[in-house]
Amino acid sequence: MGRPLPAPAALFGRPTSWRNLRLAAMFLACVRPASDRESGPRAGSPRARTAFRAAAIVVALLLLPAGSALAQPTPAPPGVIDGPSAGIVGLSGMSIARDGSGGLAYVKQVAGVAHVFVSRLIGGVFQTPQEVDATLAGASSQPVIAGGDGGVLLVAFINSGGLYIAQTGGPSTPFSPPAPIAGGASNPSLEMSNFGKAYLAFTVADGAGHDVRAAYYYQGRWALESAPLNAVPGDEAGTGSGRPAVAAAGDGVGIVVWGEGGRVYSRRVWGTSPSIVFGQADGPLPGCTEGSADDPVVGAGGDSSWVGVAFHEVLRCGSVQEQRVLMNRWQGSIYDGLTQPDGLGSSAADGADQPEILMNEYGRGYVTSARITSHLLFGTVLGTDGGSGGLLLADDSGLPQASPPFGVPAAAGLSSEMIAWQQDPGTAGLPEIRLRYAPGGGPLGPDVVLSAPAQGPTAAANGLAAGGDVDGDAAVAWVQGSGAASLIVADQLYQPPGSASPVHASAYARTLQPRLAWSPAPARWGPLRYLVSVDGAPVAQTLATSLTAPAPLTNGRHSWRVTAINPAGVQHTGESGSVFVDTVRPTVRFSLSGKRQVGASLHVYVSARDLPPLGLPAAAASGIASVTLKWGDRTIVPLKPGQHRSAHAYRRAGRYRITVVAVDRAGNSTTAILRIKLTPPPPAPPKRPPARRKGT
């Protein structure tokens, strides 16, 4: 407590004010949806949804970077986070917060024992991986990761049957030692909301079977919810392909889904208090009977009243058994009804699995699924609040693939989305990682190959993750190679950097090699390189925001500008500035006339000129900025341009130093001094006595 708050621009990357942020926060507090206070039908009332959506738009407009116009990001060459190493087991996840901080988690064997490693994303750079479970002797597995603004990172994992948490509160803070959360645990799922509230769902053994539990995180503290979430107490829940999944909505509510008894259930959690109402998402399609449902995934935007639940369903339609990916939208406490985001009709020859879901701040996004036979990746567009839209094919070629795509939809900020997947042409080439990106809620752009063939075939079955920040930058991470050649690889895609502007649009310098300084170009991910050009010619590159001109300049005015270059090579040239170099001091002469006597009027005549070096035109001199006359008796007279004379009368006799200082616009100065001695005034003549009148 007591620390000064940072400037809003430092938090949100745009010029704004604390007043605007307070107003937005007050607005959100006034209109928070009913789902933040209760469950049941009222939780999804149109009035609450409309008010909260309006509030979200206000906050979004306040916090978006100034002048942002999102485009297709440009990928840099992929970077190796770890490897090559035969110890790499698999990538478990990656999380990127709005401010661009985050990290990725993976499992790697150390001396034959599996341990959890995390590479933190700080300043747009993935750092050297850290082993976060080094204090635990047993083997670790199933790490999950969630990141929040300010470099907050939470990592949950299983070690020797126990669920542990390691966390850090910022980029300069080390990870805490692993803290136990629950024993006899498995299958953790973790997500943090945009406002720092996180939920962790997991499975625990209860002696007779397994239960689904949840834990809540806020401001560095964890707490367990009060009771198991199972639809049926003591039932076998959250195991195998029914492992739980969790979403953290922007309004602070958690939503947990899980498989139980061949069905998919859902429940909301307010902090540590689960809702009384739970929902069942699965069911048969018309004309079919239901076999079983599993592999649930869940998505939520800013309003927890609208939740998307997708899952894998086994149906029997007539005499045909079908595998499908279905979705059901949970509105308040009621499910709307099944939709078919896999795009398969009845009695289709192929089936679908690998359900994944993304819902951004506004509930928009995608449900992706993979065809079982052709391995093609399909996606259904989700409109506002998770409404089902059109079907798309990730790979425009439509050619069958040799292995599953392991598609991952992800968000970058408030409204940009992406889909990453593995493309495997079989004998025609190596498996590779591809990405399609939709800036600002627009349509998906063309697919881009991110992986480098020189690093071997990609292995998305061992891990593939994607994410992005509020500015629309994106990152995709995956496993590449096999055996001793296994790698953890990440590729970052960058929006164009902002403008680097001169600190002073026009400046003067008294040296031939002036120091040029500029404001940092707005960009969440770096490092940025700056290319400095003087008079249209490049002169130097630097990672700093200032430099000394590497070669002497001539006297006179010079224009200069800075081009910001991000790691993907995307450039942005800022506005030009000017520097006027003047290394020559002004010349000054003056003369004094008048009687050097107390009370007499003395006149000074000053001549001051600012001349360029020999051989250069007069324009190469900056010109006289000021001329100051000091009479030596604390009388100081600034002389106006063109007025270089002054008169003065001293009151006392003595020795005085008359000083004239001429300063040019660059700050060069010349001082001329004249020492004088003033004599007292002559004695007054004696007074004559008054003349006497005659007769007196």
Q: Domain 587-678 maps to which CATH number in 2.60.40.10, 3.20.20.10, 3.90.1310.10, 3.40.50.11690?
A: 2.60.40.10
User: Residue 638 class from Cβ within 10 Å (0-12 exposed, 13-18 middle, 19+ buried)?
Assistant: exposed
Q: What is the pLDDT of residue 399?
A: 87
Give yes or no on whether 142-454 and 587-678 have one common fold. no
pLDDT bucket at 35, cuts 50 / 70 / 90: very low
Angle 525-469-154 (CA atoms, 0-180°, nearest 5)?
100
Reported confidence tier of residue 688, pLDDT bands at 50, 70, 90? confident
CA 553 to chain centre: 39
For residue 20, what pLDDT is reported? 43
Beta bridge partners of 658: 674
> What are the CA-CA distances from residue 558 to residues 161, 175, 508, 555 (Å)?
69, 50, 10, 9
Domain 506-581, what fold? Answer: Immunoglobulin-like (2.60.40)
pLDDT of residue 404: 97
- Is residue 37's pLDDT more than 70? no
Q: What is the pLDDT of residue 441?
A: 85
Q: Which residues contact 582 (CB under 8 A, 6 or more apart)?
A: 508, 509, 510, 555, 610, 620, 621, 622, 664, 665, 666, 668
State pTM to two decimals. Answer: 0.83
pLDDT at 46 over 90: no
**pLDDT class of 652 with cuts at 50, 70, 90:** very high
pLDDT given at position 33: 43
50 or 165, higher pLDDT: 165
DSSP secondary structure string for all residues of 627-666: EEEE-SSS-EEEEPTT--EEEEE-SS-EEEEEEEEEEETT
The fold of 142-454 is: Methylamine Dehydrogenase; Chain H (2.130.10)
Judged by average pLDDT, the poorest of 25-34, 481-490, 627-636, 641-650 is: 25-34
Q: Say what the pLDDT of residue 178 is.
A: 98
What is the rounded (10 degree) CA torsion for 188, 382, 368, 194? -30
Residue 207, pLDDT > 60, answer yes
Alpha carbons within 13 angstroms on the beta-carbon side of residue 551 total 9
Mean pLDDT score across all residues of the chain: 90
Confidence of residue 644 (pLDDT cuts 50, 70, 90): confident
> What pLDDT, on the 0 to 100 scale, is given for residue 460?
98
The average pLDDT across 9-36 equals: 42
Whether omega before 527 lies within 30 degrees of 0, making that bond cis, reads yes
Average pLDDT over residues 86-104: 97
Model confidence over 386-433: pLDDT tens digits?
999 999 999 877 889 999 999 999 999 889 999 999 999 999 999 999
Indicate the domain borders of the chain.
8-63, 142-454, 506-581, 587-678
Q: What is the pLDDT of residues 107-121, one digit of tens each?
A: 999 999 999 999 999
437 and 445 in contact (C-beta within 8 Å)? yes
Higher pLDDT, 80 or 44: 80
